[in-house]
Structure 1
Amino acid sequence: MAIGEIVLGSFLASFFQVLFDKLTSLTLGYAQQEGISTTLFEKWKGMLVTINAVLADAEDKQLSGNPLVKLWLDDVRDLAYDMEDLLDEFAIKAAQVESEAKSSTSRGMEKWKFSFFGQDKSSRLNPNPHLLVFETKVQEIIGRLKAIVTTKDHLSLRENVVDRSNYTNKRVPTTSLPEPWFFGREKEEAEILELLISEAKNSDAVLSILNIVPIVGMGGVGKTALAQQLYNDARVKSCFERRAWVCVSDVFYVFDITKAILQSITGLSCEGEDLNELQVKLKDSLYGKKFLVVLDDVWNEDYGKWTELFKPFEAGAKGSKIIVTTRNLPVVPMRGALPYPLEELSLDNCTSLLAFHALGATNFESHPDLEATGKKLAEKCKGLPLAAKMLGVALCNERNPDKWEAILNNKIWDLPKGKKR
């Protein structure tokens, strides 16, 4: 398979994950909080899952020279970009409405969200022009989704040719082991490290909401990589007597998370035990000890689940810390902790990261014929280290400038810049 086609397949599949994440985030962050129906979101999700299930087969058929499948993939890509734009537009508007509603005694602005989902029929008597534009875009996207699903059937695309379906439930688990090379997070790493160590050494510190450090940012921006660096720092290891790393993802089961923490700390199997037994053992293991627990990729906003999970932590020593990485900002206020937002990498750092994974070096000094194209490719990554890494891996051991140029000119790289949340 050619490098350009590997990149096309990887990034179209990855971009679907972005859409799934944003749909989930909006459902949790706005719709449920305001009592808005989530029917529209679920309808979009259902059709996206149907399309996503045949992507692998579509990419294989495209490589075989099927022009109709290529046109179909182009339509899928264009629709995905337009969907993301509309979701971002809605999120921004919803945030503005919420802010204005809090500062005003009138609930008129709140009707915008309900009428957008067809729950306020009275507002349709005097429709807002801005709302009409939204509704028109929504209906257009629904129509395009249906057309793409119909065309999929006509092309006889097979589902789940490889196990890459249903990204909402099958995230790749993370590990506590750090990346081989870490770029551009020196400032952030130093600031959080100081926060961890200074409070861990403060004998007056107590385990409270202030001992939680939430690292917040969009998907692919490097939250996990930063947490890995902190978790493995020698100074952190020396400050904390107990450490545990758990990849939580979108399914927040207190039983599973408690079990994973206990196994990470003790190294023992915990099969056949119920939640009570696990929490008692975890409490005993943490009793009087300074601990660091990393909960990676968290989406849960249910305060009751957080409270249940944290019960054994109360036995820990003063100065214990909990790092939470999340794309979902509403997760953070549930425990009252202030978020630590993670921004995109600079272009120079993205270039270095791409070069490292593609060439085994942090620059293009040994390959000046690839430098100009490499920098343009790094710019396409929009500051996301995950995108730079994936591109570098796809280009690994490739030294032909024409192939680098071909990837640069591939339309799949015109990814819209992720919005900060």
Structure 2
Amino acid sequence: MAIVEIVLGSVLASFFQVLFDKLASLGLSNAQREGAPPFSGISTDLLNNWRKTLDTINAVLDDAEDRQLSSNCLVKLWLDDVRDLAYDMEDLLDVLALQATQVKSGAKSSTSRGRINWKFSCFGQDKSSRSNLNPCLLVSETEVQEINGRLEDIVIRKDRLSLRENVVGKSYYTNQKLPSTSLPETQFFGRKKEEAQILERLVSEVENSDATLSIVPIVGMGGVGKTALAQRLYNDARVKSYFETRAWVCVSDVFDVFDITKTILRSITGLSCEGEDLNGLQVKLKDSLSGKKFLVVLDDVWNENYGKWTDFLKPFEAGAKGSKIIVTTRNLPVVSIRGASPYHLEQLSLDNSTQILKE
């Protein structure tokens, strides 16, 4: 498992939010000048342009993360450059924020003496103003132009790599992923606490609830171990004895109600069900599950369409109270559709990650 690459995409997505916050803070400082030259030495328009460009890059990070896992070296290099730019941009924004603080402090001092000096250029100050600033905190026009150039280069390469924005359905990586099975991994590291907590949710019934069916979502970033954990739970001895029937489906990129229903029915009954339409499949599935306590695992789900979920779940309401559906997904909105309480799977500890690398 390419742990470093998997973590990189998630870290970048979080780090971009830090940059957005810093840009917003500088923009607010500039706006409060009421027509005076900007605190930061960079115009509000330029800050807004940086924000828009970062939005464009941020929108394709999920797709880039998927594609680098398929050993696409050009995408990996692109992500590395995005990371380096993000770090350098943060450093520059921190300097601008300190510079803005110094200028603001100097402006207040001048106001108290009745002498307001607005001679503050786009990338520097006049001689008298400059003397009041720490020279280490001055941002040059060259540094700003360099950031602009790197931003433009990354956007151009994004287009050449055909990275897609806001990918929540079929993606390059999920299309290449082999359908996972319910068989557990031969090596399993960590997750003892998580396994015990989710197991308790599976084999216990919610008090004072009339609901027949409960959904147990396992949510986490790609490669964090959602499927491996679900496999462990699916094959646990307590789970096998608690549920009368079980079924496993790797959903992946396309949430096809017909195909998923057919796979579950075939898994439960052993019948091929060829020639049946969706209505026929759902009637048979409802009859097969009627009055039984069942467990179904939907692995790697991306669908956020409420209508598809409603159509898919109709046969499952016939099961006995205590029936469960485990959903593994990267997308939190997937599980919010049914109001299910998600179980967030965090990254492995350093010790367990190191052990995986050793193996």
Residue 336 (structure 1) aligns with: 339
Aligned-partner residue type, residue 260 of structure 1: T
How far apart, CA to CA, are the structure 2 residues paired with 1:83 and 1:239?
Answer: 52
How far does residue 266 in structure 1 lie from its aligned partner after superposition? Answer: 1.6
How far does residue 253 in structure 1 lie from its aligned partner after superposition? Answer: 1.1
The correspondence of residues 146-157 of structure 1 with structure 2, limited to 5 A, is 146=156
Residue 187 (structure 2) aligns with: 181
How far does residue 349 in structure 1 lie from its aligned partner after superposition? Answer: 1.8
How far does residue 184 in structure 1 lie from its aligned partner after superposition? Answer: 1.2
Assess if the C-alpha contact under 8 Å between 1:16 and 1:80 holds in 2.
no
Q: Say which of 243, 255, 266 aligns to 1:240.
A: 243
Residue 269 (structure 1) aligns with: 272
Question: Cα distance 1:316–1:138, how it changes in 2: closer, same or farther (>3 A)?
Answer: farther
Residue 144 (structure 1) aligns with: 154
How far does residue 146 in structure 1 lie from its aligned partner after superposition? Answer: 2.5
How far apart, CA to CA, are the structure 1 residues paired with 2:244 and 2:321?
Answer: 12
Question: Cα distance 1:167–1:351, how it changes in 2: closer, same or farther (>3 A)?
Answer: closer
Q: Say which of 81, 85, 103 aligns to 1:79.
A: 81
Assess if the C-alpha contact under 8 Å between 1:263 and 1:270 holds in 2.
yes
TM-score (norm 1): 0.51
Assess if the C-alpha contact under 8 Å between 2:82 and 2:154 holds in 1.
no
Assess if the C-alpha contact under 8 Å between 1:79 and 1:141 holds in 2.
no
Aligned-partner residue type, residue 343 of structure 2: Y
RMSD: 4.2
SS at structure 1 position matched to 2:218: strand
How far does residue 327 in structure 1 lie from its aligned partner after superposition? Answer: 0.7
Assess if the C-alpha contact under 8 Å between 2:6 and 2:222 holds in 1.
no
The correspondence of residues 64-213 of structure 1 with structure 2, limited to 5 A, is 75-79=77-81, 81=83, 140-146=150-156, 166-167=172-173, 169-199=175-205, 206-208=211-213, 211-213=214-216
How far apart, CA to CA, are the structure 2 residues paired with 1:353 and 1:281?
Answer: 43
How far apart, CA to CA, are the structure 1 residues paired with 2:252 and 2:8?
Answer: 13
Larger Rg belongs to: 2
How far does residue 138 in structure 1 lie from its aligned partner after superposition? Answer: 9.2
Question: Cα distance 1:85–1:262, how it changes in 2: closer, same or farther (>3 A)?
Answer: farther
Aligned-partner residue type, residue 144 of structure 1: I
TM-score (norm 2): 0.59
Residue 113 (structure 1) aligns with: none
Which structure shows the higher helix fraction? 1
Assess if the C-alpha contact under 8 Å between 1:193 and 1:230 holds in 2.
yes
SS at structure 1 position matched to 2:216: strand
Q: How many residues align?
A: 252
How far apart, CA to CA, are the structure 2 residues paired with 1:268 and 1:318?
Answer: 26
Question: Cα distance 1:205–1:218, how it changes in 2: closer, same or farther (>3 A)?
Answer: same
SS at structure 2 position matched to 1:257: helix
How far does residue 196 in structure 1 lie from its aligned partner after superposition? Answer: 1.1
Residue 63 (structure 1) aligns with: none
Q: Say which of 286, 303, 309 aligns to 1:300.
A: 303
Question: Cα distance 1:330–1:198, how it changes in 2: closer, same or farther (>3 A)?
Answer: same
SS at structure 2 position matched to 1:220: coil
How far apart, CA to CA, are the structure 1 residues paired with 2:354 and 2:200?
Answer: 28
Question: Cα distance 1:301–1:82, how it changes in 2: closer, same or farther (>3 A)?
Answer: farther
How far does residue 166 in structure 1 lie from its aligned partner after superposition? Answer: 3.0
How far does residue 76 in structure 1 lie from its aligned partner after superposition? Answer: 3.1
Question: Cα distance 1:303–1:346, how it changes in 2: closer, same or farther (>3 A)?
Answer: same
Question: Cα distance 1:338–1:148, how it changes in 2: closer, same or farther (>3 A)?
Answer: closer
Aligned-partner residue type, residue 146 of structure 1: I
SS at structure 2 position matched to 1:199: coil
How far apart, CA to CA, are the structure 2 residues paired with 1:141 and 1:250?
Answer: 31
The share of aligned pairs that are identical, in percent, is 60
Question: Cα distance 1:216–1:75, how it changes in 2: closer, same or farther (>3 A)?
Answer: closer
How far does residue 172 in structure 1 lie from its aligned partner after superposition? Answer: 2.7
Assess if the C-alpha contact under 8 Å between 1:204 and 1:318 holds in 2.
no
Residue 294 (structure 2) aligns with: 291
How far does residue 148 in structure 1 lie from its aligned partner after superposition? Answer: 7.9
Residue 280 (structure 1) aligns with: 283
C-alpha distance after superposition, 1:239-286 (max 9, x if no partner): 111101111113111111111111121222122221111111111111
SS at structure 1 position matched to 2:231: helix
Question: Cα distance 1:238–1:315, how it changes in 2: closer, same or farther (>3 A)?
Answer: same
Assess if the C-alpha contact under 8 Å between 2:247 and 2:297 holds in 1.
yes
C-alpha distance after superposition, 1:215-238 (max 9, x if no partner): 111111111111110000011001
How far does residue 203 in structure 1 lie from its aligned partner after superposition? Answer: 11
Assess if the C-alpha contact under 8 Å between 1:18 and 1:219 holds in 2.
no
Name stretches of at least 5 consecutive residues in structure 2 with no aligned partner.
14-54, 89-145, 162-170
Deviates more, 1:175-184 or 1:266-275: 266-275
SS at structure 1 position matched to 2:327: strand
Residue 227 (structure 1) aligns with: 230
Aligned-partner residue type, residue 189 of structure 1: E
SS at structure 2 position matched to 1:173: coil
C-alpha distance after superposition, 1:77-133 (max 9, x if no partner): 5235469989xxxxxxxxxxxxxxxxxxxxxxxxxxxxxxxxxxxxxxxxxxxxxxx
How far apart, CA to CA, are the structure 2 residues paired with 1:222 and 1:306?
Answer: 24
